[in-house]
Amino acid sequence: MLLNLTIFLCLVFLGYVFGRHAEKKHFESILERENQYKALLAFSARFPPADMAISESKLVGGTVVISIDYFKRLAAGLRNIFGGPVTSYESLIERARREAILRMKEEAIAMGAEMIINVKLETSSITKGAGDQVGAVEVYAYGTALKH
């Protein structure tokens, strides 16, 4: 029992320290790159602007998989009992979404595009149904990159 408790506390502590550090660094990096790529516009509109002369259009996409840490998992598990917003997962999904869009933008920038239209996001759980595993989420962002 004592051994179980020790392992458990270590996992929670490690999860908290490393998870929080990783999240902080990731958000910093996301903000920096979002600023860097802001000239490239991205929309969910299905059609290009009517006055835009398009020389090239191409499907671009970016995907990312982010794993939760033991602390987040425990916090979410506690939330399962009492109900309410699962804040520990909210930041996880937010990071994944923004990172996927950034990776999609990187591909569009590489081809010299000015705009991405019809942007869509897909989310899926990698470890769905496997109760004993630490969960991971995959977000895929894709759209049509347009070049003048």
Partner 1 sequence: MRYENRQIPEGINVSTEHPLKEFSALLLSLVVLVGAVVVGLSVLAAYAAPLVPFHVEQKIVEQTGSDWLQADPLSVEQQAVKQYLKTLGSALEANMELPEAMTLTVHYSDSELVNAFATLGGHIVIHRGLLREMPHENALAMVMAHEIAHIKYRHPIVASGRGLTVGLALAAVGGFTDSSATGLLINILGSGSMSSFSRGQESEADAEALKALLAHYGHVNGAADLFKALHDRTEPSKLLEFFGTHPADRKRIAAIEQFSLNISQGSTQPFPESVLKAVH
Footprint of partner 1 (CB under 8 A): 1-2, 4-5, 8, 11-12, 16, 20, 31, 38, 41-43, 49-51, 70-71, 73-82, 85, 87-88, 90-91, 93-94, 115, 131-132
Structure tokens at 8: 């458990």
The CA distance from 34 to 41, in Å, is 11
CA distances from 83 to 19, 51, 78, 131, 143 (A): 23, 50, 8, 19, 35
Cross-strand partners of 64: 139
